[in-house]
Structure 1
Amino acid sequence: MEKARPAPGHPSTYGQACMQCYKAKCRCVPRSRGDSCERCHRLRKECLPSDSTRRRNADRAEESGTRIAQLEGKIEMLLSAVQSIVSSSGSSAEALRLLNEERIPSSTAGPNDTPANSISTNPSISGVPTPATDPSPLAQAHTDPCSPSQYSPSPSEPSPRQAEECLSFFRSRMLPYFPFINLTPDIAAWQLRHTRPFLFQAILVVTTFSTQKRLAQIEELKRILFTSALLEVQSSIDLLLGLLTYLAWSNDAFLGRADLISRLMILAISLVYDLRLFKPLPPDTILMMAITQGQDHESDQNPNDETFQGFMEKQRAVLACFVLSSNISSHLGRIDALRWTPQMEEALRIIEMNKSCLTDEAFAFQVRLQLLKQRAAHIREQQIDGARTATASVTTSVPGLLYLKTLREQLHELKSSFPPDLLQRGAFITHAHYVDLYINQLAYSISWDSPPLNLLGPRSDGGHLPGFERLKCLWWSVESIKSWLDSFYKISPSDLVGLPFHFWSQMIMCVTILKYLSVLEDPAWNRQEVRNTVDLIATMDCMIQKLDRVCIESNFQCDDSIFNLLSKLLSKCRVWAGARLNTSQIQDAEAGPYRSADPCETSHNSSIPDLDQMIWMQSMDLEDDQWFEDAMNLPAPFL
């Protein structure tokens, strides 16, 4: 029997308020027409009686009870099967093994979809600390391993054993090189699938090394992401962590899908803002939301209800979003990096002080390195804006050079502070050398209006010769590339498997700049000395051998991994470089030791582009032979 509503103009009694007023904790006064209450009519909201909603909740509870009964029936069947095995074979170990395998209903998966059949994982490689005192948000799940996740499982989802191997491989071989998640060893695959279903799906994707198989999984990941974030307009830390995981180890930048990476990065930034992870809402906005939406949104994010581990999880996600957006901005263009704020500086300070998670120390160094690079990029943006307004000149670029010199000193200080026992120290040192190269190249491009390397005559203002400054920056670039390569050679092939995408972009950039410096035609530049310091052909040969060893030692059951594709790129570049270097060496021999110092004789090859202005990187497709043909036929300054 339906409950009688109170008389119009009188507030509803306890338990009879509509759902809108009940949620907002407001007085519910029915209208005279009886179709809604005064507040819902004023706010133009649907007035739903609380009893109908409670009935729906009861229906849902009934459905959940049915689902639980079904699961209990399955468990009983499994226990009966185990008991029969024990009684027939007497092997308790075998029964336990079967029970563990059957705890989650398995589904079919391709034999090469996961590291289970393609990579021999090493469980001794951890790099992940023991759990902290507070339980990790990733481990806060029900004890029932058969609990359904938020998203429907994919038909190609791996079996429980394969899922565990994927998670173990990601945790021990990939995450340490970008440790923005505290994924402790006690978190099982079924737990992660329950608490962080989208992150779980992203891990399955990035641990698939066949390009074609990964592309099929990416489509399913995109479907889940777009449905949740765009159609259903959801914002959750799970979506953000999964999206950052995919972006960090994505191969799309090398497969002609740079536009997809840029769009997904913008979506990740929007999730950071929507979740208000580093920029709380101002009081007037909170008040307006309470008035217009009928509830106090500040109460939904009560900091007293959040655990320390949950708080740290969000801080790492914000900093990871900054690092990835900065890398994507400089390597692919099209987007601006997430701006550094005082709140992010405070988050980084908290990460550095956290001693309960050992990987936070390495992650903090990684963020500091990227912050120096981003500050250098900010100087370049100011120079471009000044050039557009016709205010930039050699004199106005001097402060920029001084600032870059300060950044270089801060970089060297940061490198010297790396703990000698820091896990993945070699990869982070390699990153530091690339930041040094980036700063040097920016210093070269700041004095853009001076002659290429003109060392003739003093400057009118009596200062340092701009050409000499550029000459120093170019040679520092040679030394930075050599240091990067030396660190790269020390990284074992098994460790190269887990490196994120921006490491491989750095490799391509280093080889490209080395090519420019090896064939730079300028009377003041000794390109033979560059070749004696770092031989371009020998460098590419060594890189090709290293990439091929990765495929062999990791026992990949495919020939279309990112390492195969990068090896293909370097092999084709080596053919071009061999012909180009032979031509320049003949020219050097004909010119002899006395080369002309006339800047007018400098060819177009003296122009070296900025690291973040190589447009061809945005169209790179290592699976497309036509792209290789077009790229190799481009003029030298663009190849």
Structure 2
Amino acid sequence: NLVHQPRAVTGQSDPSDPECRFSGGIRQTPFRRFTTQLYSIMNTVHRELGPYGRACVTCARAKCKCIPRAGGSTCERCHRLNKECMQPVRRRKLKPLSKRVQLEHKLDGLMTLLASAGQSQLQPLSLSTSNTGTSMNTNIVTSGAESPNSNSELLGAVISVPYLGKDSEEEACLASFREEKLPVFPVVHIPDTLSAKDVKEQSPFLWRCIAAVQCKHPSRQSELCASIREVAGKRLLVDCTKSLDLLQGVLVYLAWVTYLTQPQKSSLCIYTQMAIGLVFELGLNKPAPPDLCMATSNCNAVGHLPHLKPSLSTKRTMNERRAVLGCFVLSSLIAQFLGRMDPLRWTPHMEECLNTLSESDESPNDIVLAQITRTRLLADMILQGPWNENLYDIDIASRAPASFHMKAIQTRFQTLKSKIPVDLAENRSILFHLIHTEVSLYETALSKPTTNTEYTDPQRLDHLYTCLKAVKAFCELLISVPVAELTSIALPDLIYTSHCLVTLFRLSTFDYPGWDRAIVRSTLDLVFITGQLADRLNTVAQVVGIHSEGELRDPYSKLAMMMLKIRGEWASILSDLEAVDTDATLELPLFNMNQWDLDSFLNWSEDLS
């Protein structure tokens, strides 16, 4: 009997089994059959992998081995999957740049940034000139091309300048500043050959200051004034930058931007000291050293290191001379106005700069600045007279009589007037300074103590009346200025106006035998002239096209409101004097120049806003 034998589980099988194939007596499963076939193929055909980094794009993305087909342009995988076999694009790996080359590239990029900084930082500024009336943006720069220090600090700190949009608008704005503002107070000369683009690149801070001066939108002007203070603080106090551009910008800020600032803040003393400090840092009050090593003090051992050089120029330029004289004029009148600081000390080199400008034919405004400077020198002499006892602690017995000082100053004043060129005899800017100096000279009659009220000094009465006539001449000159040109008046003119009005109030209330206050009021009525000036200031915005927005008023309207408030206080005092006979028991407020301080002025303006 045959016994049925089951299939072996050890891999042995019947050769007649149709589902199996034998290889060496081992049963072949489908998986083993596939691996056996693959092994036989690999043994019969030689397959080479592609070189490293040469896998096709499809295999590289799938992160699979790329095996080229024999005699074909595709790989095995792409052929099997019927995909496009694309060879990768070879990219040559660049060697890293050296540190020197990287630094050169950074410098090139920085110079490109300087050239295009004005076109990427701020929004366009809407302005319009009084001549054309077209809407424009304003930003201007100084003619700092003469000075080697004008742009030497730009690599350390990039200043973004307001962008005007069109070249024609920038040129029109530059022409407006050059023709309307600079003749009033020529602290800088911008040649006609210098384009707005050149000026903006050479002196970005001055350009920013002039942008604020020319702006006719109070809100935009407020932003520019704030940015000026931020940039000035960073460059002067943080970066410790010293350049002619900064000095000229600070002078323009003091001359025009100060009373345009919104909100108004008293910054005259601080910015004046900044300007004086820059004059010292640049060495403009002393002759230019032929060698920078000579400019370092022998006491300063660190300063003699070869890599440390002072920020001085070895050749004095005309714009440097204008800047130092402009700084002296502003510091002198601001010191007189505030009464709590000293002006820039006059030096022999500044006298040389004054004589050079007097003979200069580079700009017709140079002789104007020279005359203004000589007038301020005389005004400083008046402040040093014996009638100002608070300024100097000098023994009275050692002083010459006041009449000696008065006679000497009167002689110098007449000499100064006689030396004014004929073509400048009617120059409004020179006349403002000249008439104000005459007011300062003869108002000393108000400062003298009245020791004997029964005795009348005829000479004192003459001085009082001469002072009254000078105040009247100043007010008539101020009223004659066209309304459209009131935007060009500088800070000196405003300070002189305040001084003359305060002096008129003192003359209107001064009690002295023989001095008739009624004649004073009939000659020049304080209440009337103050109201007339306020009315003219109120019309400036409409005439020149200043657009007030929101709660911000234009600066000229704010000045008018300040003047009207003071007018009301003065009117109440003057009406009391007319109603009641003045006697010894009547106490009148003793006004002096300090009492019409800018701080009080600005406090009143904040109450009115």
Which residue is 1:568 aligned to? Answer: 561
1:108-187 to structure 2, matched below 5 A, reads 109=123, 113-116=125-128, 119-121=130-132, 136=146, 151-153=158-160, 157-161=163-167, 162-187=169-194
One-letter identity of the residue aligned with 2:321: Q
Which residue is 2:369 aligned to? Answer: 363
* 1: CA distance, partners of 2:403 / 2:333: 22
2:268 alignment partner, SS class = helix
Which residue is 2:467 aligned to? Answer: 477
Which residue is 1:581 aligned to? Answer: 574
Match of 2:241 among 214, 222, 234: 234
Which residue is 2:359 aligned to? Answer: 353
One-letter identity of the residue aligned with 1:556: I
One-letter identity of the residue aligned with 1:474: L
- Tell me by how many angstroms 1:240 deviates: 0.8
One-letter identity of the residue aligned with 1:185: D
The CA deviation string for residues 275-328 of structure 1, in whole angstroms up to 9 with x for no partner, is: 11122589594455577542287898563xx4xxx6111111111110111111
| Aligned residues of 2:468 and 2:504 also touching (Cα < 8 A) | yes
Which residue is 1:49 aligned to? Answer: none
Which residue is 2:533 aligned to? Answer: 543
Which residue is 2:306 aligned to? Answer: 295
| Aligned residues of 2:259 and 2:491 also touching (Cα < 8 A) | no
Which residue is 1:440 aligned to? Answer: 442
- Tell me by how many angstroms 1:204 deviates: 1.0
Which residue is 2:333 aligned to? Answer: 327
1:488-503 to structure 2, matched below 5 A, reads 488-503=478-493
* 2:200 counterpart of 1:189: no
- Tell me by how many angstroms 1:351 deviates: 0.8
Q: Which runs of 5+ in 2 are unaligned?
A: 1-96, 135-142
The CA deviation string for residues 145-191 of structure 1, in whole angstroms up to 9 with x for no partner, is: xx99953426x644345544432222111111111211112222221
Match of 2:389 among 356, 379, 383: 383
Distance change >3 Å, CA 627–CA 404, structure 1 → 2: farther
- The alignment covers a number of residue pairs equal to 497
* 2: CA distance, partners of 1:602 / 1:197: 60
- Tell me by how many angstroms 1:527 deviates: 0.2
2:362 alignment partner, SS class = coil
Q: Which has the larger radius of gyration?
A: 2
The CA deviation string for residues 87-143 of structure 1, in whole angstroms up to 9 with x for no partner, is: xxxxxxxxxxxxxxxx97477646xx5532x744489xxxxxxxx9x97559999xx
* 1: CA distance, partners of 2:578 / 2:114: 75
Which residue is 1:619 aligned to? Answer: 600
One-letter identity of the residue aligned with 1:408: Q
One-letter identity of the residue aligned with 2:602: D
Distance change >3 Å, CA 69–CA 488, structure 1 → 2: closer
| Aligned residues of 1:427 and 1:491 also touching (Cα < 8 A) | no
Distance change >3 Å, CA 236–CA 251, structure 1 → 2: closer
One-letter identity of the residue aligned with 1:328: I
1:397-408 to structure 2, matched below 5 A, reads 399-408=401-410
* 2: CA distance, partners of 1:67 / 1:292: 29
Q: Which runs of 5+ in 1 are unaligned?
A: 1-53, 75-102, 124-131, 142-146, 457-464, 592-599, 629-639
Distance change >3 Å, CA 65–CA 516, structure 1 → 2: closer
* 2: CA distance, partners of 1:256 / 1:152: 23
Match of 1:273 among 280, 301, 305: 280
* 1: CA distance, partners of 2:306 / 2:345: 31
The CA deviation string for residues 250-285 of structure 1, in whole angstroms up to 9 with x for no partner, is: 335998866522111111111111111122589594
One-letter identity of the residue aligned with 2:274: L
* 1: CA distance, partners of 2:534 / 2:495: 15
One-letter identity of the residue aligned with 2:335: S
Which residue is 2:18 aligned to? Answer: none
* 2: CA distance, partners of 1:581 / 1:522: 16
* 2:424 counterpart of 1:425: no
Moved more, 272-281 or 235-244: 272-281
| Aligned residues of 2:508 and 2:521 also touching (Cα < 8 A) | yes
- Tell me by how many angstroms 1:444 deviates: 3.5
| Aligned residues of 2:204 and 2:245 also touching (Cα < 8 A) | yes
- Tell me by how many angstroms 1:348 deviates: 0.4
Give % identity: 21
- Tell me by how many angstroms 1:624 deviates: 3.6
Distance change >3 Å, CA 405–CA 546, structure 1 → 2: farther
One-letter identity of the residue aligned with 2:480: K
Which residue is 1:412 aligned to? Answer: 414
The CA deviation string for residues 340-372 of structure 1, in whole angstroms up to 9 with x for no partner, is: 111111110111111222210111011111111
| Aligned residues of 1:178 and 1:363 also touching (Cα < 8 A) | yes
1:383 alignment partner, SS class = coil
* 2: CA distance, partners of 1:240 / 1:617: 23
* 2: CA distance, partners of 1:625 / 1:302: 44
2:580 alignment partner, SS class = helix
- Tell me by how many angstroms 1:627 deviates: 7.4
* 2:545 counterpart of 1:555: yes
2:209 alignment partner, SS class = helix
* 2: CA distance, partners of 1:487 / 1:615: 21
TM-score normalised over the length of structure 2: 0.71
- Tell me by how many angstroms 1:538 deviates: 2.5
Distance change >3 Å, CA 66–CA 263, structure 1 → 2: closer
- Tell me by how many angstroms 1:200 deviates: 1.1
* 2: CA distance, partners of 1:261 / 1:369: 21
TM-score normalised over the length of structure 1: 0.68
Match of 2:584 among 601, 608, 614: 601
| Aligned residues of 2:212 and 2:224 also touching (Cα < 8 A) | yes
Which residue is 1:28 aligned to? Answer: none
1:336 alignment partner, SS class = coil
- Tell me by how many angstroms 1:476 deviates: 2.0
* 2: CA distance, partners of 1:226 / 1:68: 24
Which residue is 2:8 aligned to? Answer: none
Match of 2:517 among 515, 527, 538: 527
Match of 2:220 among 189, 213, 224: 213
Distance change >3 Å, CA 56–CA 439, structure 1 → 2: farther
| Aligned residues of 1:206 and 1:250 also touching (Cα < 8 A) | yes
2:317 alignment partner, SS class = helix
Match of 1:311 among 317, 334, 344: 317
* 2:252 counterpart of 1:245: yes
| Aligned residues of 1:430 and 1:484 also touching (Cα < 8 A) | yes
| Aligned residues of 1:166 and 1:203 also touching (Cα < 8 A) | no
2:536 alignment partner, SS class = helix
Moved more, 235-244 or 219-228: 219-228
* 2: CA distance, partners of 1:469 / 1:114: 56
Moved more, 341-350 or 220-229: 220-229
